[in-house]
Amino acid sequence: MVWAESVPRVWRERVKKYRLLGGKCLKCGSVVYPYRPACPYCGHEELQPLELSRRGRVINFTIIRHPPTGFVGKEPYVVAIVELEDGARVLAQLTDVKPEDVKIGLEVEAVFRKYREQASNGVIEYGIKFRPV
């Protein structure tokens, strides 16, 4: 997959991915991840950049048992919707937890981990995952 091996793309998104850079809508107050130019809820075009809270709770999750290319060999792993303390909802992997121990409501905190390697000689993509508190 050609797009999966883009280096500029990884580089461009690094700050948002490394530091959970989101935005707070100055009109409706919604907090979104990642940062973007327009609020998805009210359309307002002023969002204040914000490093989001690193704590939250799992509001839903699934266990990926048949992963897409790039994640093969890592299964089973948990992908969850985490609602951060500031209200933003982030889709992220959970780590350092057995899939069978994950429950809705689980309190989690952000950690910095590897997500994907662009082949064994390509760049490594890092980002925020969550682990149980």
- Contacts to another protein by CB under 8 A: 1, 3-4, 9, 13-19, 32-34, 40-41, 51, 60-74, 77, 79, 81, 89-93, 95-96, 99, 104, 111-116, 124-127, 129
CA–CA dist 18, 3 (Å, integer)? 20
Shortest distance (Å) from residue 132 CB to another protein: 10
Shortest distance (Å) from residue 127 CB to another protein: 7
**Beta carbons within 10 angstroms of residue 13's beta carbon:** 14
CA–CA dist 118, 6 (Å, integer)? 8
**In terms of CB distance, is 26 or 42 closer to another protein?**
42
Distance from the Cα of residue 17 to its chain's centroid: 7
